[in-house]
Amino acid sequence: MNVAESERMAGQLYKIGYKLTDDIAAADLILINSCCVRATAEDKIYGKIGELNRYKLQNPALIIGVMGCLAQKDGDDLIKRYPNVDFVLGTARRGELSNVVESFESARKRFVDTSNVSGQIIEPEVFPIRTGKVSAFVPIMYGCNNFCTYCIVPYVRGRERSRPAAEIFAEIKNAVDNGYKEITLLGQNVNSYGKDLQEMTFAKLLAAVDKIEGLKRLRFMTSHPKDLSDELIDVMANGKNICEHIHLPVQYGSNKILQKMNRVYTVEKYFELVKKIRAAIPNISLTTDLIVGFPGETEKDFQLTLDFLREIKFDMAFTFIYSERSGTPAANFDGKVDDETKHRRLNELMAVQNEISLAKNLQLDDTTVEVLVEGASKTDKNIFTGRTRTNKSVLFPHGTESAGDLINVKVNQVQTWILKGIRDFL
Ligand code: SF4
């Protein structure tokens, strides 16, 4: 989501004469799009703001702005503590970026606005400066109404607001016309899309986007298990370009902790949902998020989570140590887990999941998979990378293919996180 929003911010700045640079020392404006979902993200940003001081000393005309979730959370404090920051804009004020920069250019008056956190985000007609050439992120809604007890997002991003469907279609058509092959629809909880507009459900939106001429692949994230409907499963099962992958954060594998997290489903309900999805879309890949060390977590809860993982067999899991966020209910819960136990549990969890991920990938050994080519890999320009419809990374020696091509690759080597293979021309 932050990448997508940064692209839109860049689009606004482009309209008033800025362009992107890789050379930070040459920049006239540095904009930090911040995250505060975990303490480490927050610490990194504060460190970064401090570091920017030297550029300001070299170039006093340099403008430094902070936006995003941390800006929303700590706005006034941030501008007081960091004299090198010129403006702070909250999450609902993103659409005003170009105006704020223009007025700062002329008046040089420091500015902070974190008001109206749940306000509609009205962006001036913006064409995002997209970072990818093959895949485009398209936000379909902002905010969250769920208030999971560990999560700061609803406080810093406000209540759910859906973008009008016509606006979403126009943006996707524009991206496809400009050569993008894959679209990822984004929202904190995409399954709630449209509830505020009463216009259409997420499933209907997905079905309609799937019909857009020229689109090759369609993805979405993230789904809250409590809101993933039968209608959506049906649309996915009958879709053309909708990829067989759902990121479905479970967060934990014991009912006691799920209840304390306010996730509003049980392990049994989650299982039922997964069974339904797998029955309708047999080759679906499922990924998840998991948090260890939540307050009150006992060894028994943790072992239940490991059992749960072994039984459900996700393709991949993003695992996190619980990060206390002040202002959330969980920050005041008893039963804090000590650091050593948290780390030990994280390692155990990762070891169990890695085994499962590898076993899942081994099922693909010696098979041919369809890959959307992304381009050269980071480490070797002769090795290209791409993804399967199930969102698995594939590496293969580069021949004649270009970014954006859909090709077949015969898998001949399998690792926990990636597949390797050679082009299959048959
Ligand atoms: S669904 Fe829960 S975890 Fe996800 S953004 Fe909303 S409050 Fe946070």
User: How many folded domains does the chain comprise?
Assistant: 3
Is the pLDDT at 125 greater than 80, yes or no?
no
The answer, yes or no, to whether any atom of ligand 1 lies below 6 A from the CB of 70, is no
Ligand 1 atom nearest to CA at 262? 2
154 CA to centre of ligand 1 in angstroms:
7
For the record, the structure tokens of 192 come out as 């709630």
- 275 within 8 A of 228, measured Cβ to Cβ: no
The answer to whether the bond into 222 is cis (omega within 30° of 0) is yes
Residue 123 within any structural domain of the chain: no
pLDDT of 207-248, one tens digit each? 999 999 999 999 999 999 999 999 999 999 999 999 999 999
Residue 128 within any structural domain of the chain: no
pLDDT given for residue 408 in this prediction: 97
The answer, yes or no, to whether any atom of ligand 1 lies below 6 A from the CB of 292, is no
The answer, yes or no, to whether any atom of ligand 1 lies below 6 A from the CB of 188, is yes
70 CA to centre of ligand 1 in angstroms:
16
Q: 291 and 204, same structural domain? A: yes
- 95 within 8 A of 73, measured Cβ to Cβ: no
pLDDT given for residue 91 in this prediction: 95
Closest CA to 371 of 358, 383, 397, 389: 389
Q: 410 and 351, same structural domain? A: no
Domain boundary among 64, 83, 113: 113
Mean pLDDT of the chain: 96
Between CA 285 and CA 391 the distance in angstroms is 8
94 CA to centre of ligand 1 in angstroms:
21
pLDDT given for residue 151 in this prediction: 97
pLDDT given for residue 43 in this prediction: 95
Is the pLDDT at 22 greater than 80, yes or no?
yes
Residue 239 within any structural domain of the chain: yes
The answer, yes or no, to whether any atom of ligand 1 lies below 6 A from the CB of 154, is yes
The answer, yes or no, to whether any atom of ligand 1 lies below 6 A from the CB of 391, is no
Q: 226 and 162, same structural domain? A: yes
Between CA 198 and CA 65 the distance in angstroms is 36
Work out the average pLDDT over 266-276.
Answer: 98
The sign of the dihedral angle between the CA atoms of 261, 263, 267, 270 is negative
Q: 256 and 204, same structural domain? A: yes
> What's this model's pTM, rounded to 2 decimal places?
0.96
Q: 149 and 177, same structural domain? A: yes
Q: 265 and 151, same structural domain? A: yes
Is the pLDDT at 124 greater than 80, yes or no?
no
pLDDT given for residue 425 in this prediction: 87
Region for residue 327 given its phi and psi (left: phi exceeds 0; alpha: psi -120 to 50; beta: otherwise): left
Work out the average pLDDT over 352-381.
Answer: 97
pLDDT given for residue 240 in this prediction: 96
Q: 120-125 long-range CB contacts below 8 Å, 24 or more apart?
A: 120/92, 120/161, 121/92, 121/94, 121/95, 121/161, 122/95, 123/8, 123/12, 123/94, 123/95, 124/12, 124/15, 124/95, 124/98
Domain boundary among 113, 148, 169: 113
Residue 125 within any structural domain of the chain: no
Between CA 5 and CA 156 the distance in angstroms is 15
Ligand 1 atom nearest to CA at 145? 6
The answer, yes or no, to whether any atom of ligand 1 lies below 6 A from the CB of 151, is yes
Extended beta strands in 24-142, E state: 29-34, 63-68, 87-89, 111-113, 135-139, 141-142
Residue 129 within any structural domain of the chain: no
Residue 126 within any structural domain of the chain: no
Is the pLDDT at 119 greater than 90, yes or no?
no
Q: 179 and 82, same structural domain? A: no
Q: 290 and 191, same structural domain? A: yes
pLDDT band for position 422 (cuts 50, 70, 90): very high
For the record, the structure tokens of 307 come out as 């059992």
Q: 374 and 350, same structural domain? A: no
The sign of the dihedral angle between the CA atoms of 373, 205, 251, 326 is positive
Test site for ligand 1: of 153, 263, 318, 320, most ligand atoms within 8 A of the Cβ: 153
pLDDT of 164-206, one tens digit each? 999 999 999 999 999 999 999 999 999 999 999 888 999 999 9
Domain boundary among 62, 81, 113: 113
The answer, yes or no, to whether any atom of ligand 1 lies below 6 A from the CB of 148, is yes
pLDDT given for residue 115 in this prediction: 94
Is the pLDDT at 426 greater than 90, yes or no?
no
Between CA 1 and CA 169 the distance in angstroms is 18
Is the pLDDT at 139 greater than 90, yes or no?
yes
- 102 within 8 A of 130, measured Cβ to Cβ: no
pLDDT given for residue 23 in this prediction: 96
Residue 417 within any structural domain of the chain: yes
Work out the average pLDDT over 86-104.
Answer: 96
52 CA to centre of ligand 1 in angstroms:
32
Full domain range(s) for residue 240: 135-362
**The domain that contains 97 carries what CATH number?**
3.40.50.12160
The answer, yes or no, to whether any atom of ligand 1 lies below 6 A from the CB of 35, is no
Work out the average pLDDT over 376-380.
Answer: 94
**The domain that contains 263 carries what CATH number?**
3.80.30.20
Is the pLDDT at 126 greater than 80, yes or no?
no
Closest CA to 121 of 12, 215, 208: 12
Q: 172 and 143, same structural domain? A: yes
Cβ neighbours of residue 423 under 8 Å, at least 6 residues apart?
A: 396, 397, 399, 401, 407, 408, 409, 410
pLDDT given for residue 411 in this prediction: 98
The answer, yes or no, to whether any atom of ligand 1 lies below 6 A from the CB of 146, is yes
Q: 333-340 long-range CB contacts below 8 Å, 24 or more apart?
A: 333/149, 333/260, 333/295, 333/296, 334/295, 334/296, 335/295, 335/296, 335/297, 336/295, 337/293, 337/294, 337/295, 337/297
Test site for ligand 1: of 1, 146, 152, most ligand atoms within 8 A of the Cβ: 146
pLDDT of 287-343, one tens digit each? 999 999 999 999 999 999 999 999 999 999 999 999 999 999 999 999 999 999 999
Q: 223 and 187, same structural domain? A: yes
Q: 166 and 62, same structural domain? A: no
Work out the average pLDDT over 57-62.
Answer: 95
**The domain that contains 418 carries what CATH number?**
2.40.50.140
262 CA to centre of ligand 1 in angstroms:
10
Residue nearest to atom 1 of ligand 1 (CA): 146
Test site for ligand 1: of 144, 145, 161, 189, most ligand atoms within 8 A of the Cβ: 144
The answer, yes or no, to whether any atom of ligand 1 lies below 6 A from the CB of 291, is no
Residue 120 within any structural domain of the chain: no
Test site for ligand 1: of 188, 192, 247, 328, most ligand atoms within 8 A of the Cβ: 188
